[in-house]
Chain A
Amino acid sequence: QVQLQESGPGLVKPSETLSLTCTVSGDSMKSYYWTWIRQSPGKGLELIGYIFDNKSPSYNPSLSSRVTISIDTSKNQFSLKMTSVTAADTAVYYCAREGITTAVSLDYWGQGTLVTVSS
């Protein structure tokens, strides 16, 4: 059974960098796209970006200037960094897998981690 688990600080100060890691278990990371999504009351579900193997990540243009997604398949992990955060970045952050047979849809998700931006 594939499992994803987000980890990282739950509280980040304004203007600082949010850093999260997703650890994948139960399957190889190869051949899949790995995605970060966030959910806030104000903006609903929002795709942040994704990465495939060691190819160049793709980022939502609305966030691309502040976001970096990286992957370490030897550790079965991928990560998200978001710089210069503000209160508007307060959200539940999810990592998810794009299934091979599910036409780009997200078949496995982490449980989500709440990140609050506040001083």
Chain B
Amino acid sequence: DIQMTQSPSSLSASVGDRVTITCRASQGLGSWLAWYQQKPGKAPKLLIYAVSRLQSGVPSRFSGSGSGTDFTLTISSLQPEDFAIYYCQQVSSFPYTFGQGTSLEIK
């Protein structure tokens, strides 16, 4: 299975900050990477697919980039509703696997 490693595991930031979360895969993924946001007691929500494509309805302050094995999710200006856990998922090779999550907390 492809291993997905996110860093950091947790992050404290303030409203208005620019934040970057990194996801590293154990082998190359091409463009087959997605990012999800999960709030307490809720299902994950798709933010970005195919590395950099914004899912419909997701604010443009979210962006994704990367290639090969290294990918990033950037939030350009944190809003109060962005404090949540973020997961990357590789969909290059079955079984599709998730990162362990990055918890974004209010400073």
Residues of A bordering B, CB below 8 Å: 44-47, 58, 60-62, 94, 96, 99, 102-107, 109-112
B45 touches A109 (CB 8 A): yes
User: B61-92 interface mask toward A, CB cutoff 8 Å, 1 = contact, 0 = none?
Assistant: 00000000000000000000000000101010
B91 touches A104 (CB 8 A): yes
A110 touches B43 (CB 8 A): yes
| Bound Cα distance from A15 to B89, whole angstroms | 31
B11 CB, min distance to chain A CBs, angstroms: 17
Number of A-B contacts (CB under 8 A): 64
B95 touches A105 (CB 8 A): no
| Bound Cα distance from A94 to B43, whole angstroms | 8
Q: Nearest CB to that of B50 among chain A residues?
A: A103
B96 touches A104 (CB 8 A): yes
B95 touches A104 (CB 8 A): no
* Majority secondary structure, B binding face: loop
| Bound Cα distance from A35 to B87, whole angstroms | 17
| Bound Cα distance from A46 to B44, whole angstroms | 12
B97 CB, min distance to chain A CBs, angstroms: 7
A61 touches B95 (CB 8 A): yes
| Bound Cα distance from A103 to B55, whole angstroms | 11
B43 touches A58 (CB 8 A): no
If A44-B100, A45-B87, A47-B95 are given as contacts, then 13 extra A-B residue pairs at C-beta distance below 8 Å, sorted by A number, are A44-B87, A44-B99, A45-B101, A47-B97, A94-B43, A99-B46, A102-B34, A102-B50, A105-B55, A106-B36, A106-B89, A107-B55, A111-B43
